[in-house]
Amino acid sequence: MPPIYAKITGVGKYLPDYILTNKELETMVDTNDEWITSRTGISERRILKGEGRGTSYMASRAAKAALEDADVDPDEIDAIIVATVTPDYLFPATACLVQKQIGADKAYAFDLSAACSGFLFALTTGGTMIESGRAKKVLVIGADKMSSILDYSDRTTCILFGDAGAAVLLEATDEKVGIIDYIHYTDGDEDRMLYQPAGGSVMPATEQTVEQKLHFLRQEGRSVFKRATEGMADVSLEIMEKNNLAPDDVSWLVPHQANLRIIDATARRMGLDKEKVMINISKYGNTTSATIPLCLADWNDELSEGDNLVLSAFGGGLTWGSIFLKWGK
């Protein structure tokens, strides 16, 4: 049997309407536009407003857009994977809510949690399901309502993140396009460098956990910055070397958008010019699982058949990795 490959045939995004600018943040915490833009590259981010709206609201809209882009009906979908750290509920999985909201009646659905590397890990999971021959069409969604776990009185974290959802449809093909190779890593020793202390089974919600603000994201910014800069640059170079890709062979770097300085360092290490790097952090901030598919959606019209893409991310866990993907919609 010839090998089966998993290619992206549709991309879609959902961005909430509300724009939280650096100027507005200046009225909320002791910060300023100059500090935020020069240290992170972020000018504004989107916030999902409206009672009863969670991550599935954004994920299902992004999924519908990806299906439209691919011209595929929801009832053709075999499986749905939602990468998120801000699920609507701890259970059922947000992917189950998406399955209902988009009417993908025949799909089985589950969530995957790997923080900012979530979309990468979900994409290779969906890809492997297709390569095995068990599934033909898999929706892979990255969506996070980061505003639901941020402390808007903590200037070191609240300025960094935004809300969004973005999705891709993976389909089986016998051409050698789509996911060609990947490298993923985890370092569980550093579980406290970036995490949400309470709300899980170790520390269920109590009056005290709420009072002590333990349900908000905590990050050792400088340590994560150092690890992320090394990790993303190293793994991006590693996937290039493993696949004999010279800088000229790489059409696009699709990096996780956590900090412009981390993206620049990764591109430099890979020997890539800035024009080959997808950067939209200025408009959306760090949307965790959504950053990479959001880039693919924003650059959808500029991508050409045969383009070599390197997708790279680093996040809590710690988790990080790269995917070498040949565009072939």
Q: Which residues of the chain form contacts with ligand UT7 (CB under 6 A)?
A: 31, 35-36, 39-40, 116, 155-156, 159, 221-222, 224-225, 228, 258-259, 262, 286, 314-315
Nearer to ligand UT7, 10 or 255 (CB): 255
Question: Do the beta carbons of residue 152 and residue 158 sit within 8 Å?
Answer: yes
The burial class, CB within 10 Å (0-12 / 13-18 / 19+), for 125 is: middle
| Catalytic-residue membership of 280 | no
Full 3-state SS string of 88-143: CCCCCCHHHHHHHHHCCCCCEEEEECCHHHHHHHHHHHHHHHHHCCCCCEEEEEEE
Nearer to ligand UT7, 139 or 281 (CB): 281
Smallest distance, ligand UT7 to C-beta of residue 164, A: 14
Question: Do the beta carbons of residue 285 and residue 42 sit within 8 Å?
Answer: yes
| Catalytic-residue membership of 215 | no
Largest separation between any pair of C-alpha atoms in the chain:
62
Smallest distance, ligand UT7 to C-beta of residue 42, A: 9
Nearer to ligand UT7, 131 or 163 (CB): 163
Q: Spell out the residues 6+ positions from residue 53 whose beta carbon is closer than 8 angstroms to its own.
A: none
Nearer to ligand UT7, 98 or 294 (CB): 294
Annotated catalytic residue, options 22, 96, 158, 256: 256
Smallest distance, ligand UT7 to C-beta of residue 122, A: 16
| Catalytic-residue membership of 259 | no
Annotated catalytic residue, options 22, 96, 116, 158: 116
What DSSP state is assigned to residue 276? G
Smallest distance, ligand UT7 to C-beta of residue 221, A: 3
Whole-angstrom distance, CA of residue 81 vs CA of residue 69: 18
* Active-site amino acid positions: 116, 256, 286
